[in-house]
Chains A and B, each alone.
Chain A
Amino acid sequence: MLKFLIVDDHAVIRYGMVQLLLNEYPDALIVEANDVELAIQKTTETEFDIVISDLTMPGRSGIELLQYIKKQFPKMPVLILSMEPEDLYAIRALKAGASGYITKDKATQELIEAVKKILQGRRYITASMAEKIAGELEKNDDDRLAHELLSDRELEVFKLLAQGKTISDISGLFNISVSTVSTYRARVMIKMALKTNVELTRYALSNNLI
């Protein structure tokens, strides 16, 4: 019996994923978690054949879940399913150990194909992702865009600031202190050579990051 864990803070998305999986694997055990903490608990209770996780959730992110699973259960594959465009996060997710990355808009067409490949022990990479990865291999730091130099968490903070969220908002979203968020903001500003949140927003808009 195949065992799946679906991690997403939106019940309607989990519902959709469950229906798609049950349609293909009617005898599967499918467990749901609405945040990373619950997902971590579930991974200690059951050895899943595949974990399907959103990236952006309140509290800890999908990347943190991915890093945890890769450390504790290296053989447990993780498929990332995200609203975020492939351009921004796919390579980061794959570098962190994800077995595949699908955007939610393509989930209905690609989820089952991705699951089948991953269950065969392979990675699910679209042609466009493969091209980006090839491009990444040729780059050095001088070739990278400013935001590509940010860490995963710095990138998340950057995007939220660019969308107009305050430091308090971000602190609440990630359950981290205001001073920690301020530190991330400071690092983002230094790495990207920006001075104000307005410049940050302008950069994000001109690079189609928000």
Chain B
Amino acid sequence: MLRILIADDHAIIREVLVFILLDKFPHAHIEQVTNGVDLVKKALNGNWDIVLSDVSMPGMNGIEALKLIKANRPQLPVLMISVQTEEQYCKAAISAGASGYLSKDSVPLELEPAIKAILKGGTYTCQSLS
């Protein structure tokens, strides 16, 4: 059973992610958090196959959370999701240890291939940024 942890401060984005994930991975176990601090706590204390995290969250942002997760659980892949589409943000996330970067608008089409590529050990950046 695929175990997925989602972090985004906007309920509607989490709802979209859950909807798509359950459609593409019907037996997945999915949990949600709304901020970076809870993300780090849950990521480090749980058994996850992949983390999906927003970049911009109040308090501790996604990149800060990513760095802490990678420092403690280097094998846990993290896919960053952001409204920012500029390449510089993508590069910053990958440099910080993200296994992938998607713009929020590409989520409906690219979330599934991104997760599959990352779970196979690869990296993924969305097509509009390639």
B interface residues, tally (CB under 8 Å): 13
Contact of A19 among B11, B16, B83 (CB under 8 A): B16
Asked if residues A104 and B19 are in contact (CB atoms below 8 Å), the reply is no
Known contacts being A10-B83, A10-B105, A12-B104, is A19 close to B13, with CB within 8 Å? no
B12 contacts A by Cβ under 8 Å: yes
* Complex CA distance for A15 and B104, rounded to whole angstroms: 11
Shortest C-beta distance, A113 to chain B (Å), equals 15
A interface residues, tally (CB under 8 Å): 15
Asked if residues A107 and B105 are in contact (CB atoms below 8 Å), the reply is no
Shortest C-beta distance, B30 to chain A (Å), equals 15
Known contacts being A10-B104, A10-B105, A12-B107, is A105 close to B10, with CB within 8 Å? yes
Query: B residues within 8 A CB of A106?
Result: 11
* Complex CA distance for A10 and B84, rounded to whole angstroms: 12
Give the tally of cross-chain contacts (CB within 8 A).
Answer: 41
* Complex CA distance for A109 and B10, rounded to whole angstroms: 13
Contact of B11 among A10, A11, A12, A105 (CB under 8 A): A105
A151 contacts B by Cβ under 8 Å: no
B113 contacts A by Cβ under 8 Å: no
B1-44 contact mask (Cβ, 8 Å, vs A): 1 or 0: 00000000011110110010000000000000000000000000
Shortest C-beta distance, A55 to chain B (Å), equals 15
Shortest C-beta distance, A84 to chain B (Å), equals 13
Closest A residue to B14 using CB positions: A108
* Complex CA distance for A107 and B13, rounded to whole angstroms: 10
Using CB atoms and an 8 Å cutoff, list the residues of chain A in contact with chain B: 10-13, 15-16, 19-20, 83, 104-109
Question: Nearest 6 CB-CB pairs, A to B?
Answer: A11-B105, A16-B16, A12-B104, A15-B108, A108-B15, A107-B12
Using CB atoms and an 8 Å cutoff, list the residues of chain B in contact with chain A: 10-13, 15-16, 19, 83, 104-108
